[in-house]
Amino acid sequence: MKEEKFEFQYEVYNDISELDEKDAWLLTEARSVTEQAYAPYSNFHVGAVAMLENGEIVAGTNQENASYPVGICAERVLLGSVATIHPNVPVISIAISYSSDEVKSDHPISPCGMCRQSLLEYETRTKHPIRLILSGQVGKVYVINTAKFLLPFAFTSDELI
Ligand SMILES: [Zn+2]
């Protein structure tokens, strides 16, 4: 028997002012686009904005439904749009933020398990890591260099061959 360890490094910034210009711009867009979320049930408005390898910007927001499981997260709305509008173009970075009338938006949130799986699949199919820039409307910012770090022991297409 031997023990193994999974760990990864990520960057922590005190606030948006410590980011470089491109990342700060992308995060500002993500913070702003939370206004487009349709979240009457959770009142948790999420915005995700991607910068693509071709320079294009694509945004997504969470879209809820009275039939709760029909709702879809901002990250998967975003990835579906990217894949449709710019097929096979790698995503360089995605900034993710949130807003709510009920809870403070002062710390980073990270993608749910289902979105982690989708992000990993997009990285794999485009053979390019996706940097994640995570932050609330104010406060600390986490930068994670690949979505793969968020899903150790992932189930992938390798298992289906
Ligand atoms: Zn999700």
What's this model's pTM, rounded to 2 decimal places? 0.96
159 is catalytic: no
Catalytic residue, candidates 4, 18, 35, 75: 75
Q: How far is the CA of 112 from the centre of ligand 1 (A)?
A: 4
pLDDT digit string (tens) for 32-59? 999 999 999 999 999 999 999 999 999 9
Q: How far is the CA of 15 from the centre of ligand 1 (A)?
A: 24
The HSE-up count of residue 123 (CA atoms within 13 Å, CB side) is 22
- 85 burial type by CB count under 10 A (0-12 exposed, 13-18 middle, 19+ buried): exposed
Strands 131-135 and 91-99, bridge-based pairing? parallel
The stretch 57-62 carries a mean pLDDT of 98
* Per-residue pLDDT at 161: 86
Does the pLDDT of residue 125 top 90, yes or no?
yes
* Per-residue pLDDT at 128: 98
Does the pLDDT of residue 127 top 90, yes or no?
yes
Q: How far is the CA of 129 from the centre of ligand 1 (A)?
A: 18
Average pLDDT, the chain: 97
The percentage of the chain sitting over the pLDDT mark of 70, rounded to a whole number, equals 100
Measured distance CA(99)–CA(31) in Å, rounded: 8
Q: How far apart, in Å, are the Cα atoms of 76 and each of 3, 22, 24?
A: 35, 23, 22
Contact 60, 114 (CB under 8 A): no
Q: How far is the CA of 2 from the centre of ligand 1 (A)?
A: 34
The stretch 87-111 carries a mean pLDDT of 97
Q: Give the residue among 135, 111, 110 at the shortest CA–CA distance from 24.
A: 135
